[in-house]
Chain A
């Protein structure tokens, strides 16, 4: 078929009733994912008994707020990444503040803890719970994001999937942090980050498969 014929065929294709855009579909699907995750969390883990008191300490509050901030900054990035030619803009620069803050907290804790305590705090007692929990809790939200993103047109599907993984992992980690009683940055700066990276990697793999167009 000649290209000119294709153009007339495409132009004759009646303007479809405006297809719902990623932005309109996303809140619903992401919300559904959050709901499933929250439900699973409430049924299996649940918040720690001393949550209110613990959150009064800045170093504990940070382990909930930082992943939340990560998700909030990654969300506009994933939306922009789903549009060809769009730039990341301000959130793309601001998001680096999160890993910087995490590194800062880790360093501070490393310097203030007694040398004999460092390894014990770093290893904690819940790595085998922490990593799979963060990964699993992020899956429902990752799925919701990917469904919404299939409407978009990411020119780097793996990267877009990774950003979706980052959003989901940030939210999942914030939720998980209300269960976890390991309050030293020596633990959470490392192991939460590792969990977030696993979920981000899963998002990249899924994105490469599901977000191609």
Chain B
């Protein structure tokens, strides 16, 4: 443990004073530990949820790296941030009303999901609507990188941002979009009269207290798909 503290402390110290390679190594070396914490704390969470929390923890570490004091052990600092982000995610998950049954294997939804072509149209419409709720620059970055397929360098040049800053902004915007899509799905679910298909699906495959609908999955899928296309 002391070796780890010494090594990570040294890497983060060098990273904080501008050594990018050391900083990248620090993040990479801590990644498995962050994953373990997230897995333990998000018991019942899907792999995707765990990875989301890991990414949030990484961004938090990045944003708050100046709160670590050189000379102090780095692991308590690191773990505290990871735990904080896990608690945050767990709270959000509870607020959404999702339990451990919030995620369903996609095959189970085959019957209720609209077919691909229709999904694309809905996705495009929903994406436009969701983008309007982001701040204009973030929306522009998502459009340029995710939809138009421009490179981060091109977008950065246009906005006077570094390539790294564009990527971080893009990543942040994608997370926000995902959250918005989830919200929209939940609202839609409340308004929808439960039709026969959905009812059968609920009783067949879902646990009680679960609010995710096919539409929400669809929205999330759509956004993720667009995100991966760059």
Contact = CB atoms under 8 A, between A and B. Distances in A.
A9 B54 CA distance: 15
Contacts of B64: 84, 152-153, 213
**Range, interface on chain B:** 35 or more
Interface residues of A, number: 28
Interface string A1-43: 1011111111111110011011000000000000000000000
Contacts of B63: 213
B167 A9 contact: yes
Q: What secondary structure prevails in chain B residues at the interface with A?
A: helix
A3 B24 CA distance: 12
B18 to A, nearest CB: 4
Contacts of B164: 9-14
A11 B22 CA distance: 9
B58 A10 contact: yes
B79 A85 contact: yes
Contact of B162 (A6, A8, A13, A152): A13
Q: Select the residue from A10, A82, A213 with max chain B CB neighbours within 10 A.
A: A10
A26 B59 CA distance: 25
Contact of B67 (A11, A15, A83, A212): A83
A82 B67 contact: yes
A86 interface: yes
Q: Kindly list the 3 A-B residue pairs having the minimum CB-CB distance in the complex, ordered from nearest.
A: A85-B76, A12-B164, A84-B80
27 contacts: A1-B55, A3-B31, A3-B51, A5-B167, A6-B55, A7-B24, A10-B23, A10-B59, A11-B20, A12-B162, A14-B18, A14-B162, A14-B164, A21-B66, A83-B69, A84-B78, A84-B80, A85-B75, A85-B78, A86-B76, A152-B67, A153-B60, A153-B67, A153-B81, A153-B84, A155-B83, A155-B84
Interface of B: 15-18, 20-21, 23-24, 27-28, 31, 51, 54-55, 58-60, 62-64, 66-69, 72-73, 75-81, 83-84, 88, 162-165, 167-168, 170-171, 174, 227
